[in-house]
Amino acid sequence: MDLSNKVALVTGGASGIGAATARLLAGAGARVAVVDLDEPGAKAVAEQVGGTGIGGDVSAVDAMATIVGQVEERYGRLDVVHLNAGIVAGQSGIEDLDVEGYRKIVGVNVDHVVFGVNAAVPALRRAGGGSIVATASLAGLVPIPGNTLYTMTKHAVVGYVRAAAGPLAAEGIRVNAVCPGFADTPLIAAAKDRFAGFPLLSAEDVADAVGAILDRGEPGECWYVQPGREPGPYGFRGVPGPGNHQAPPSGAGEDV
């Protein structure tokens, strides 16, 4: 993967998967903007990779547009976007719902992806095309019991990426999702003792999968990442069409 003369933006880049991806992209030659709510952390990683650190709440309505504008102003273009920021819910969401916490996880895990794509696409068009990778999860492919709200948000990311892929591919913009299993990152730090003896991915494992997607992924693919396995695109099954055998509307029932 050669990203010489390319510019990349990574959200949630102060630690974990985002920091590992920032290092990987910089190692491939890209100039990298590292974005995080933890601005000092973002600047520290950016300093390591010779990039730019930007603080911001990516779930805020206008934040991603402002961030993309700052990146274009500094570097003149944008080619690669990794929408990686994410949080866990800390509640099941089935009963005794903490509405503030619910709004927060939807804001970071879902709104941020939508706002990020919305802000990035015009910049990628100006650069003549590019790639977007959103961090989903295995929880976007299968349900994770006890993590109902997290599962919901990651399913939303997977669905959004798959639906957006076709129209964007026609413009030379590729959008994908990376769907890692449990990774040894700050996201599980508070519950890490529960994973004793369980194989965990490293942040670098997931970053390598992001690199593989950028290198050879096809539009709309959602790549699983599991310990001890080569990452690859998940094989979605198409749904049955109407019983009267009429052709479905364009895109319905297709295996993307």
Q: What one-letter code names the amino acid at 117?
A: V
Q: Where are the beta strands (DSSP E) in 94-243?
A: 130-135, 173-180, 222-225, 232-233
Instruction: Mark whether 224 is an active-site residue.
Output: no
Bigger pLDDT: 95 or 235?
A: 235
Cα–Cα distance for residue pair 107/102, rounded to 1 Å: 8
Helix H or strand E encompassing 71: helix 63-75
pLDDT > 80? residue 246: no
What is the C-alpha separation between 214 and 210, in angstroms, rounded?
A: 6
How confident is the model over 178-213, as pLDDT tens digits? 999 887 766 655 565 665 566 788 999 999 999 999
Which pLDDT score, from 0 to 100, does residue 256 have?
43
Find the radius of gyration of the CA atoms of the chain: 18
pTM metric for this prediction: 0.91
Q: What gap in Å lies between CA 201 and CA 29, rounded to an integer?
A: 25
Q: What residues does 223 pair with on adjacent strands?
A: 178, 233
CATH superfamily for domain 7-233:
NAD(P)-binding Rossmann-like Domain (3.40.50.720)
pLDDT digits (tens, 9 = 90+) for 48-60: 999 999 999 999 9
| Domain range summary for the chain, segments of one domain joined by + | 7-233
Strand, helix or coil for residue 222: strand
**Active site residue: 75, 102, 150, 160, which one?**
150
pLDDT tens digits, 136-180: 999 999 998 888 999 999 999 999 999 999 999 999 999 999 999
Q: Buried b / exposed e across 176-200, counting CB within 10 Å, b at 16+? A: bbbbbbbbbbebeeeeeeeeeeeee
CA separation for the pair 251, 216 (Å, rounded)? 23
Going by their DSSP bridges, the two strands 222-225 and 232-233 should be labelled as: antiparallel
Q: Distance between the two ends of the chain, CA-based, in angstroms? A: 25
